[in-house]
């Protein structure tokens, strides 16, 4: 895999579940916030959280609103959840997955690293800064801030990153749907398999099991 990646020029990493095992901390943050809204204990786990995978916080809380017939200020709740999740991640000193540092050895002036994530920029920047790898990335594309989907970004890639062909791009992802889109466009794909998505991303060119 490393030999093939030597020829790639553009490396695009998802964040949650791809660079870092952050999902358990997001689940805990959601449990705390959702419990406070419903005034009863909410206990999402890996299985019950599956319906929220791939969605940003705004989408999650809109769905939560519909499911539970409750009303609240989405922006206020999302911000509270993001602050709780960020503090949990920083307090628990969650580590970047080891594979990233092997890939990082390939980096040179011709190779550019990017992050493409549904996560908020505050969490992305604060966690990456705490791990001392924020400067490894040419740019962070925060999809909620851009108000576009990951599918739209990939299909319109040249709007955001110039002078790179699809065949020179490699996507690191834990989402089967994003890997499918990348494949259709002719990008190389590396699936990151964790307990959250076990056996769900067999369609990637290569698979890294965490």
Residue 113 contacts residue 136 (beta carbons within 8 Å): yes
Residue 65 contacts residue 71 (beta carbons within 8 Å): yes
Which comes out higher in pLDDT, residue 159 or 199?
Answer: 159
Mean pLDDT confidence for 132-161:
94
Which comes out higher in pLDDT, residue 149 or 92?
Answer: 149
- Read off the pTM: 0.89
Residue 153 contacts residue 160 (beta carbons within 8 Å): yes
Burial zone of 106 (CB within 10 Å; 0-12 exposed, 13-18 middle, 19+ buried): middle
pLDDT of residue 125 exceeding 90, the answer is yes
Query: Which tokens in the block code for residue 45?
Result: 């786990």
Taking only the tens place, the pLDDT of each residue in 57-115 is 999 999 999 999 999 999 999 999 999 999 999 998 889 999 999 999 988 888 999 99
Determine the 3-state secondary structure of 206 from DSSP: strand
Task: Give the whole-number percent of the chain exceeding pLDDT 90.
Answer: 76
CA distances, 118 to each of 57, 70, 208 (Å): 8, 24, 21
pLDDT of residue 83: 96
CA distance 48 to 153: 28
pLDDT of residue 203 exceeding 90, the answer is no
Question: What pLDDT band is residue 116 in, cutting at 50, 70 and 90?
Answer: very high
Of 72, 65, 29, nearest to 49 by C-alpha is 29
């Amino acid at each position: 895999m490393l030999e093939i990646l030597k020829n790639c020029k553009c490396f695009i990493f998802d964040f949650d579940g791809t660079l870092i095992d952050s999902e358990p901390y997001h689940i805990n943050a959601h449990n705390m916030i959702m419990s406070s809204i419903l005034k009863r204990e909410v206990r999402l786990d890996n299985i019950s959280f599956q319906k929220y995978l791939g969605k940003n916080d705004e989408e999650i809380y809109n769905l939560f609103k519909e499911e539970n017939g409750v009303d609240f200020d989405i922006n206020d709740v999302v911000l509270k959840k993001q602050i709780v999740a960020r503090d949990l991640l920083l307090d628990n000193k969650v580590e970047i997955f080891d594979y990233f540092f092997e890939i990082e050895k390939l980096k040179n002036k011709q190779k550019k690293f990017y992050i493409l994530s549904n996560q908020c920029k505050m969490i992305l920047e604060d966690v990456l800064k705490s791990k001392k790898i924020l400067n490894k990335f040419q740019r962070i594309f925060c999809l909620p801030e851009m108000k576009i989907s990951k599918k739209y970004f990939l299909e319109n890639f040249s709007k955001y990153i110039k002078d790179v062909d699809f065949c020179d791009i490699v996507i690191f992802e834990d989402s089967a749907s994003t890997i499918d889109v990348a494949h259709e466009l002719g990008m190389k794909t590396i699936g990151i398999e964790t307990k959250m998505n076990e056996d769900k991303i067999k369609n990637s060119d290569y698979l890294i099991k965490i």
